[in-house]
C-alpha cells in the first residue's frame, strides 16, 4: 500500500453489536489465547490506515485503555452495522479522510492487505466490499468489511432514516466493487458463540 493511500483512509472497528449469542457484553473483549479479540483487530488494522476509531454504544470509558476515539451510533434504536459504518464515515470526514474502512471487532484474522485490495477493486463510486469463498467455493460477501467514501455519507444517512438495514442493498445501489480474498484459512472467521471462541484460539495458535 502506498503511503499516499494510507494518509487518505481511516479505519473504524465495529464493536457495537449486542453479542446475544455470547451472553451479552462486549464480545471484542473476550480472550483468544493471551490476547483479546479486539487486540488482534487493532493490531491488524492500525498499520493499514492513517487513524483508527471504535464504533460502540454506551459508556465510552470502558475502552479508554486503547486511546482511540469511540464513536456512538448517530441514529437511535440500534439500526445495525450500517449505523456504525455511518458513524465512521462522519468521523473520517471530520478528520479530512477520503474514506473509511470498516472491520468487525469479532473477526481477528482478516487480511493485512485488506485496505490495499479494497482500494484497488473499488467501484465507480469508490465503494468496495470484501468477499471470500465458503466451504463449497462459493464467493460470499463480507459486508462488515468495506471501503466507504465519505462523500456518500449523506445518502447512507437518508437511507437508514428511511428504514434500510441490509448493507448489500445500499452498496449494490451504488455499484460497489468487490475484493475477493482467497487464503488457506477463512480470513473472515468471526466469533459469535463460545464454541467459535475456542476455534479462534486454535487458529491463533497455528498462526503463532
19-28, 94-103, 141-150, 161-170: least confident range: 19-28
Average pLDDT in the 44-69 region?
A: 95
List pLDDT tens digits, range 130-169. 999 988 889 999 999 999 999 999 999 999 999 988 889 9
Does 4 score more than 60 pLDDT?
Answer: no
Report in angstroms the alpha-carbon separations of 196 from 57, 128, 155, 200: 24, 27, 36, 6
* Radius of gyration, CA atoms only, the chain: 16
Strand partners, 70: 54
Element (DSSP H or E) covering residue 184: none
Does 21 score more than 80 pLDDT?
Answer: no
Give the highest mean pLDDT range of 26-35, 138-147, 184-193, 196-205.
Answer: 138-147
Distance of alpha carbon 84 from alpha carbon 103, whole angstroms? 10
> How deeply is 87 buried, as exposed, middle or buried, from its count of CB atoms within 10 A (0-12, 13-18, 19+)?
buried
Average pLDDT in the 183-207 region?
A: 85
CA 168 to chain centre: 14
What percent of the chain has a predicted confidence (pLDDT) above 70?
A: 92
- Going by their DSSP bridges, the two strands 9-14 and 52-55 should be labelled as parallel
Alpha helices in the chain (DSSP H): 3-8, 37-45, 81-95, 114-120, 153-161, 167-173, 194-207
Query: Domain spanning 3-207: which CATH class is it, in words?
Result: alpha beta
SS3 content of the chain, % helix, strand, coil (to 5): 40, 20, 40
Does 97 score more than 60 pLDDT?
Answer: yes
Amino acid at each position: 500500500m502506498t503511503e499516499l493511500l494510507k494518509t487518505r483512509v481511516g479505519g473504524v472497528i465495529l464493536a457495537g453489536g449486542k453479542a446475544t449469542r455470547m451472553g451479552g457484553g462486549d464480545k471484542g473483549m473476550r480472550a483468544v489465547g493471551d490476547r483479546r479479540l479486539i487486540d488482534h483487530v487493532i493490531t491488524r488494522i492500525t498499520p493499514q490506515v492513517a487513524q483508527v476509531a471504535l464504533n460502540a454504544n454506551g459508556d465510552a470509558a470502558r475502552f479508554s485503555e486503547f486511546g482511540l476515539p469511540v464513536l456512538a451510533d448517530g441514529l437511535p434504536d440500534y439500526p445495525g452495522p450500517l449505523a456504525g459504518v455511518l458513524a465512521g464515515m462522519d468521523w473520517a470526514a471530520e478528520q479530512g479522510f477520503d474514506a473509511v474502512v470498516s472491520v468487525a471487532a469479532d473477526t481477528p484474522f482478516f487480511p493485512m492487505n485488506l485496505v490495499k485490495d479494497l482500494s484497488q477493486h473499488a467501484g465507480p463510486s469508490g465503494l468496495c466490499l470484501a468477499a471470500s469463498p465458503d466451504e463449497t467455493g462459493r464467493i460470499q460477501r463480507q459486508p462488515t468489511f468495506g471501503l466507504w467514501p465519505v462523500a456518500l455519507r449523506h445518502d447512507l444517512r437518508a437511507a437508514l432514516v428511511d428504514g434500510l438495514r441490509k448493507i448489500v442493498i445500499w452498496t449494490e445501489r451504488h455499484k460497489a466493487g468487490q475484493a475477493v480474498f482467497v487464503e488457506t484459512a477463512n480470513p473472515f472467521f468471526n466469533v459469535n458463540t463460545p464454541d467459535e471462541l475456542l476455534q479462534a484460539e486454535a487458529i491463533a495458535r497455528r498462526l503463532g
